[in-house]
Amino acid sequence: MRPSYVDIDLAAVAHNVRALVTHVAPAEICTVVKADAYGHGDVPVAEVALANGATWLAVALVEEGIRLREGGIEAPILVLSEPPTSSAALIREWNLTPTVYSESSLNALAGAEPLGVEIKIDTGMHRVGADQEVALALAKRLQEDPSLSLDGVWTHLAVADEDPAFTQLQVQRFEAFLSLLHDHGIEPLRRHASNTAGALTLDHSSFTMVRTGLGTYGLYPDPVYDGTVDLRPAMSIVSKVSHVARHAAGTRPSYGRIRELRNASNVVTVPIGYADGVPRRLGLVGGEVLIGGKRYPLAGTVTMDQLVVDVGDDMYSVGEEVVVMGNQGTESITANEWASQLDTISYEIVCQVGPRLPRRYTS
């Protein structure tokens, strides 16, 4: 079998959840496990998060919530986007908590048995959510429908890791809406706004819950927040040398022949590529891997199934371990490092690590 895999350190996940629980107390933690827990594995991460202090889970899709239930997860699960009206029966069948921001959604969800829902209000993200007028109308409707109850109100912060002034404006708008609900005699059980960036930067005294995604996996939303809370990356990508060849100076390995070897070098091939989630551009922007506890540069373009590494005059044999992302010896390559090189965010890096790579869980 191909010797490439993803190692998920569940002890790191447990540590991160405990650290975040302590940091945001007395607010509760809702661990976001959408997109297969950002590529880390939804059911294993959910089990560890709940065992270490999280009280809620959040997903983006009804299908993701069902997958958790089928995996034996019994904790409350919030669906973060308003589900299609056609999925109303499944929401009830699998005991999920839907987010709503339209009248049509409430109409579809109404039924014989009581169901708790949460309203999302748009305070500045401008992606989905109800404006204040619509949200108030929905809350009033929920007060009148015996089959539905308003269990929570929430919003999403657009730039909590970049723009404190706008973030505070969003929080003020959210708190103003909560005051408006109070004036109408409506008191939702849960109030939440912060993502991981908000968890690291905001006062949580007016919130009952915080939704932490990225921090669960040991990643910071921006390098400026490194160390704010002690977080440990949980994902490593590991493979082995599959081929070794000596090439003359001037040789240009891989597709596009983008890089010339300045000196005669040993070039090793590693059986992992962009079909697995190693970005093709990594070879163009100075990407490196770890072999024998040392950093080595990619010798050319990352291909679909393989990459090549310039190890100079060092000698390695087929079967030698290669850490593509993670720790080896005293060296470390992180998702944030890739994100910086590729002008993207660590969310994208970990989420694109593909299903061809089996997950191995350690604790």
Residue 14's Cα: distance from chain center in Å?
Answer: 15
The pTM for the full model equals 0.95
In degrees and rounded to multiples of 5, residue 265 shows phi and psi of -145, 155
8 A C-beta contact, residue 257 and residue 300? yes
The tens digit of pLDDT for each residue in 307-358 reads 999 999 999 999 999 999 999 999 999 999 999 999 999 999 999 999 999 9
The Cα 57–Cα 13 span in angstroms is 14
Smallest Cα–Cα separation from 113: which of 136, 88, 86, 87? Answer: 88
**Catalytic choice (5, 240, 255, 347):** 255
Smallest Cα–Cα separation from 124: which of 82, 157, 85? Answer: 157
CATH of domain 10-220: 3.20.20.10
Q: Where are the strands (E) in the chain, listed by range?
A: 5-9, 28-32, 56-59, 77-79, 97-100, 115-120, 148-154, 190-192, 209-212, 235-240, 243-247, 265-270, 288-291, 294-297, 307-310, 321-328, 331-333, 359-362
Average pLDDT over residues 173-178: 96
What the block records as the tokens of 358 is 């089996």
Helix/strand/coil for 351: helix
- What class, spelled out in words, does domain 235-362 have in CATH? mainly beta
The Cα 94–Cα 70 span in angstroms is 9
Could you give the percent of the chain with pLDDT greater than 90? 94
The Cα 118–Cα 189 span in angstroms is 10
pLDDT of res. 226: 87
In degrees and rounded to multiples of 5, residue 361 shows phi and psi of -105, 130
Average pLDDT over residues 162-175: 95
What is the per-residue DSSP string for 255-298?
GGG----SS-EEEEEES--GGGT--GGGGGTT-EEEETTEEEEB
Residue type, 22: T
Average pLDDT over residues 219-245: 94
Smallest Cα–Cα separation from 153: which of 114, 126, 182, 112? Answer: 182
Mark whether 347 is an active-site residue: no
8 A C-beta contact, residue 255 and residue 301? yes
In sequence order, the 6+-apart residues with CB closer than 8 A to the CB of 102 are 82, 130, 134, 138
* Lowest-confidence segment of 59-68, 217-226, 352-361 by average pLDDT: 217-226
pLDDT of res. 310: 98
Helix 62-70 and helix 42-51: axis angle, to 10°?
70
The Cα 35–Cα 99 span in angstroms is 17
The tens digit of pLDDT for each residue in 74-113 reads 999 999 999 999 999 999 999 999 999 999 999 999 987 8
Average pLDDT over residues 139-160: 95
8 A C-beta contact, residue 81 and residue 63? no
* Lowest-confidence segment of 56-60, 231-235, 258-262, 318-322 by average pLDDT: 258-262
223 compared with 200, residue with greater pLDDT:
200
**Catalytic choice (34, 38, 240, 316):** 34
* Angle formed at CA 163 by CA 28 and CA 325, multiple of 5 degrees: 70
Average pLDDT over residues 33-47: 98
Domain ranges of the chain: 10-220, 235-362
The Cα 40–Cα 213 span in angstroms is 11
pLDDT of res. 100: 97
Residue corresponding to tokens 């350690």: 362
Residue 169's Cα: distance from chain center in Å?
Answer: 25
What the block records as the tokens of 186 is 């409506």
8 A C-beta contact, residue 224 and residue 206? no
204 has pLDDT over 80:
no
Mark whether 296 is an active-site residue: no
pLDDT of res. 203: 85
pLDDT of res. 307: 98
pLDDT of res. 205: 78
> What are the Cα distances from residue 50, in Å, to 55, 57, 80, 161, 319?
6, 8, 18, 26, 38
